[in-house]
Amino acid sequence: MGGDQGPKATLEGVAMASKIYPDVKFKLFGDMTKSQPQLKKNGFANYEFIHTEECIKSDDEPVNALRKLKKSSMRLGINDVSSHDADGFVSAGNTGALMAISKFVLKTLNGISRPAIAGLMPTLKGQTVILDLGANVDCSNDNLVQFALMGDIFSQTVLGIQNPRIGLLNVGSELIKGNSIVKQTHSDLSKITKKINFCGFVEGNDINKGVVDVVVTDGFSGNIALKTAEGVAELIFTFLKNSYKSSIISKLGYLLSQPALNRFKTRIDPRKYNGAVLLGLNGIVVKSHGSTDAFGFCNAIGVAVSLIENSYINEIEKKLKLD
């Protein structure tokens, strides 16, 4: 029921995913009356529908959603992950409420003090994982070390990268730069290089160059980096669109270059990278962007399926036990 388009985007996304993952059974939590038209339209059968009229709105405070809306579609879905009646949960709803409810119901893994939101960003060399994307505005060095460990396993599990390169986001690559927390984190990560492939500090412009496979930062900086990248991508598309409309010759140029432009659009399409994971929880929870369409929501489902099939929870628990 979450997201800008509600059942339309989510159920169309599920219909797409059901064709890609025919062995997956979907449990749908929401208002049957509002969902019925889309269910009939999309015509997939491998699902169970759990009806509830309670729904968390985008402007609901996380604390109120946690305490008062105990039969919301979001809460019921997360409860199913906790009771092992579901292997994972995907939502396009209120991010703050999703984090609060997930942490309360599922708890964090042993050795993890705070969950982090991890997502993928396109780079010149493929994709890179960045975390945290907004769950923790203020972080200690211990939090950031835990993020590095979780990001390492996430990169291996979702992207299939062996021995991923880990970078710590900073205002410069020199050791003398940065605040006391990132300096201490650098020192801490340098001591466990036998466990992870720590490559030192990286700067903002290194993220999309693909200098490292995992970028570790606090939620304040991470969220700004993500939104800035999304804004730049939209700016580029707008400039290109306006340029091609400027004259008849430009319009002709567009027709000639359309195949290349389509490849370019596909490469940096944010829907392709949709599906941020709440790492560190004792269960799989994936946050879809609220403004995404069916294609983007389908990709978020794909992230959840990948984590489940590759036993992400077990792998991160093994990694943490080696501390």
Q: Which residues contact 74 (CB under 8 A, 6 or more apart)?
A: 2, 29, 55, 56, 65, 91, 93, 94, 97, 98, 101
Check whether 320 has a pLDDT greater than 80. no
Residue 25 binned pLDDT confidence (cut-offs 50, 70, 90):
very high
1-112+280-289 and 117-278, same CATH topology? yes
pLDDT of residue 204: 92
Q: What is the per-residue pLDDT across 61-95, written as a single tens digit (0 to 9) for each?
A: 888 888 888 999 999 999 999 999 999 999 999 98
Taking all residues of the chain, what is their mean pLDDT, rounded to a whole number? 88
Q: Using CA atoms, how far apart are residues 231 and 13, in angstroms rounded to an integer? A: 25
The DSSP-derived string for 176-208 is T-S-HHHHHHHHHHHTTTTTSEEEEEE-HHHHT
Q: Which of 1-15, 115-129, 264-278, 285-299 has the weakest average pLDDT?
A: 264-278
Q: What is the per-residue pLDDT across 151-182, written as a single tens digit (0 to 9) for each?
A: 998 898 778 898 999 999 999 989 889 999 99
DSSP state of 288: P
Q: Using CA atoms, how far apart are residues 223 and 130, in angstroms rounded to an integer? A: 10
pLDDT of residue 268: 66
The position carrying tokens 């059968």 is 45
Q: Both tokens of residue 95?
A: 């991010």
Strand, coil or helix: what is 166?
Answer: strand
Task: Output the CA–CA distances (angstroms, integers) from residue 213 to 124, 207, 236, 306, in the order listed.
Answer: 11, 9, 24, 18
Q: What is the per-residue pLDDT across 279-291, written as a single tens digit (0 to 9) for each?
A: 999 999 999 988 8
Neighbours of 33 (CB within 10 A): 9
Q: Which residues contact 255 (CB under 8 A, 6 or more apart)?
A: none
Q: Are strands 88-91 and 284-287 parallel, antiparallel or unpaired?
A: parallel
Q: Residue type at 174?
A: E
Q: Using CA atoms, how far apart are residues 116 and 220, in angstroms rounded to an integer? A: 12
What pairs with residue 286 in β-bridges? Answer: 90, 277
282 — phi, psi (to 5°)? Answer: -85, 55
Check whether 264 has a pLDDT greater than 80. no
* Backbone torsion region of residue 294, taken as left when φ is above 0, otherwise alpha when ψ lies between -120 and 50, otherwise beta: alpha
| Beta strand ranges found along the chain (DSSP E) | 26-30, 47-51, 88-91, 116-123, 126-131, 165-169, 197-202, 214-216, 276-279, 284-287
Check whether 17 has a pLDDT greater than 80. yes
Task: Output the CA–CA distances (angstroms, integers) from residue 247 to 234, 242, 299, 318, in the order listed.
Answer: 22, 10, 37, 60
The number of CA neighbours under 13 Å toward the Cβ of 19 is 10
Burial environment of residue 168 by CB neighbours within 10 A (0 to 12, 13 to 18, 19 or more): buried
Annotated domain spans of the chain: 1-112+280-289, 117-278
Q: Both tokens of residue 241?
A: 């669109």
* CATH architecture classification, 117-278: 3-Layer(aba) Sandwich (3.40)
For 1-112+280-289, CATH gives: 3.40.718.10
Q: What is the per-residue pLDDT across 204-247, written as a single tens digit (0 to 9) for each?
A: 999 989 999 999 999 999 989 988 888 888 888 788 888 888 78
Strand, coil or helix: what is 73?
Answer: helix
| Beta strand ranges found along 71-218 (DSSP E) | 88-91, 116-123, 126-131, 165-169, 197-202, 214-216
pLDDT of residue 323: 55
Report the percentage of the chain scoring pLDDT > 90. Answer: 48
- What average pLDDT score do residues 242-257 get? 81
Q: Residue type at 11?
A: L
